[in-house]
Amino acid sequence: MSWPVFGIYRYDVLLAYALIVQALLVCLKLEAPREVWVIAIFHIIAMAMELFLTHPKIGSWCYPEQAIFRIANVPLFAGFMYSAVGSFLARGLRLFNVSFTNLPNLVWVILLVVSSYANFFTKFFVPDIRNVLFVASLILFWKTKIFFQINSENNLQAGSAKQYQLPFLPLLLFLAFLVWLAENIATFANIWRYPSQVGSWQMVGWGKLGSWYLLLILSLVLVLAVMGKRDAKGSWQLI
């Protein structure tokens, strides 16, 4: 299909779709109002990054098609791609009754996520500290474990569910890999393009996996702050 269709641009259709899905999630009570707020915050944070990184003087990537609903070079649906990650995390926490142990000190976590976000901007003017941030995340979350339940039909009938545990960092890296796969699909569909893909599509570089890893930490911290409570020992539970 060649866009626009009947004068309607594909990016505007994607925006309408995202708004409808978000409204349904709230109406069906799959997302609580406070979860919507944190997702909205993540949306704003992501749009700020998009506006900077798509600026012609930076040119990290571009949106090759037109849209009516856009800010500068960024169609408004773009923020929903990031907020969808936050929505996925929020829904997953509730669906699997997730809890955490040995979360690092909140001050250090905030310093990590602020530095990670700032580095997306500053790396164009000062040395990139991404490798330092990776090492810091390993040190901070090395002992962190995630606990979850799979509420199968048999478990629900029995009134119980077995609890499983996983180390947090490998799971976070796996989720970053899934987002990286989705990014490859999106660029193949010409939703956006990196400079290396302008002539012809090629796989997104593995370096983007690290970017998603750091952004997932930021998203998770926002979601955990809204959806649960952390005690002095570093344990986190849903509220």
Is the separation of the CB atoms in 162 and 149 below 8 Å? yes
Distance of alpha carbon 145 from alpha carbon 147, whole angstroms: 7
DSSP 77: T
Distance of alpha carbon 163 from alpha carbon 160, whole angstroms: 9
| Size of the chain, expressed as the number of residues it contains | 239
State pTM to two decimals. Answer: 0.89
- pLDDT tens digits, the chain, 239 residues: what are they? 677 788 899 999 999 999 999 899 889 888 888 788 888 888 899 999 999 999 999 999 999 999 999 999 999 999 998 888 888 898 889 889 999 999 999 899 999 999 999 999 999 999 999 999 999 999 999 999 999 988 754 554 445 667 899 999 999 999 999 999 999 999 999 999 999 998 889 999 999 999 999 999 999 998 898 888 888 888 999 88
Domain ranges of the chain: 10-238
